[in-house]
Amino acid sequence: MPIPEKTPGWLERRLPVMSVLRREYIAFPMPRNLNALWSFGAFLIVTMAAMIASGLFLAINYTPDITQAFASVEAIDRQIPSGWFLRSLHMGGVTMLFACLYIHIARSLWYGSYKAPRELLWLTGLGLMLMVMVTAFAGYVLPWGQMSYWGATVVLNAVHTIPLIGKPVSELLLGGETLGNTALHRLFVLHFTMAFAILAVIALHVAALHVVKPNNPSGIDPVSPKQTLPFHPYYTSRDGFALCLFLMVYAGLVFFLPDLLTLADNYVQANPLVTPRDIRPEWYFAPFYAILRAVPSRLGGLLLAVGSLAVLFALPSLDRSPTRPATRRPLVRLSLPLAFVSFILLGIAGMHPPTETWLIVSRVAMAWWFIHFLVVMPLVSEREITS
């Protein structure tokens, strides 16, 4: 005798939240062959939650004024109960967030997750990356340290050189000719509000994922229920274990190595009259900074730095081959790892003084990055379509 279905409750009949959660996050069909790289999406969500929670408490005690900003950050570290922990959680979270973000995008590139029907998923993910970069840049200025001030000055001066829009954009951010109270206040508001805008785009990104379903290492979408597993308990348990390992690394960074990736000059209050001997960005901006200074023209360097991201947005159009994973594409399997190495070399070069050697490394790595996306991918995809 069949078991009668349970009648939905009063709330469920009017607002079917639990049935939606059950369908989209418990019984949601996932490919059986996902590997550990698919856990980095969960890492990103957890890290973003930690960043927003810690940022709210930091904002309560921060003063967006050039005469008090540095002192307020020092007070958070030394006087506010557990303030050092919240700031380390926030600073370490930036490092973990960008590390996971770059790995997440590299995984998508390797397995062709930008191809149809997942173009919108890819574009919303890249949009999130840009939003995180803008938020991180605004947040980097807030401590009003020496490197924060001069790093922001370099970027804003480069933006100022863009024809037509450069001057209005820089004036909108600065509120004057140079970084000052108005600029600091505006960057604080930008940093604070962008965090909540990121949450909205994350929701859009996840919604897009649930429409087109996840990609998988084989690049062949499941066609029958036997080729899938429900998200819970199979992937919740696996992601939960991976998340424990991730949080151990995060905790080690927060409690034992909070200053590992922070420049010492940023513990000195900003002085507009004293230029640091070597202006360096944080590691997650280093690849783009290396491109910026690899070209003698300030405008040319900025356009190439922006172009290095623009080619990712154009990738669904540049690579029209139906084959997704690089493992099944011999030429891409050789070219794409070199592009990954190029990105890493740009990051290393961006963290070193602009000597002749590092400028050559930057130019060679930059050249291969563009060659891979603008030359290799279109040619390979055309050959695979016609063969």
Are 266 and 357 contained in the same domain? Answer: no
Are 262 and 240 contained in the same domain? Answer: yes
What was the pLDDT predicted at 387?
66
User: Which uninterrupted H or E stretch holds 230?
Assistant: strand 228-230
Ranges of the chain with pLDDT below 50: 1-3
> In 3D, which of 195, 186, 150, 180 has the Cα closest to residue 289?
150
Across 101-114, b (16+ Cβ under 10 Å) vs e yields bbebbbbbbbbbbb
**What is the DSSP secondary structure assignment for residue 269, as one 8-state letter?**
B
Residue 70 lies in a domain: yes
What was the pLDDT predicted at 143?
93
Known binding residues for a ubiquinone: 210
Q: pTM for this one?
A: 0.94
CA of residue 145 relative to chain centroid, distance: 23
Residues contacting residue 11 through CB under 8 Å, at least 6 positions apart: 17
What was the pLDDT predicted at 6?
63
Are 203 and 331 contained in the same domain? Answer: no
Instruction: Specify whether the CB–CB gap between 327 and 314 falls below 8 A.
Output: no
Known binding residues for heme b: 90, 104, 191, 205
What was the pLDDT predicted at 261?
67
What was the pLDDT predicted at 237?
95
Are 107 and 129 contained in the same domain? Answer: yes
- The structural domain count of the chain equals 2
What was the pLDDT predicted at 100?
97
Are 38 and 108 contained in the same domain? Answer: yes
Are 300 and 242 contained in the same domain? Answer: no
Pick from 263, 279, 295: which residue ends a domain?
Answer: 279
What was the pLDDT predicted at 385?
84
Radius of gyration of the chain measured on its C-alpha atoms: 23
Residue 194 lies in a domain: yes
Domain residue limits at 375: 286-387
What was the pLDDT predicted at 277?
80
Residue 306 lies in a domain: yes
Distance, CA of 309 to CA of 311 (rounded, Å): 5
Known binding residues: 90, 104, 191, 205, 210
What was the pLDDT predicted at 279?
83
Residue 13 lies in a domain: no
Are 37 and 121 contained in the same domain? Answer: yes
The pLDDT tens digits of the residues spanning 210-252 come to 999 999 999 999 999 899 999 999 999 999 999 999 999 999 9
Residue 15 lies in a domain: no
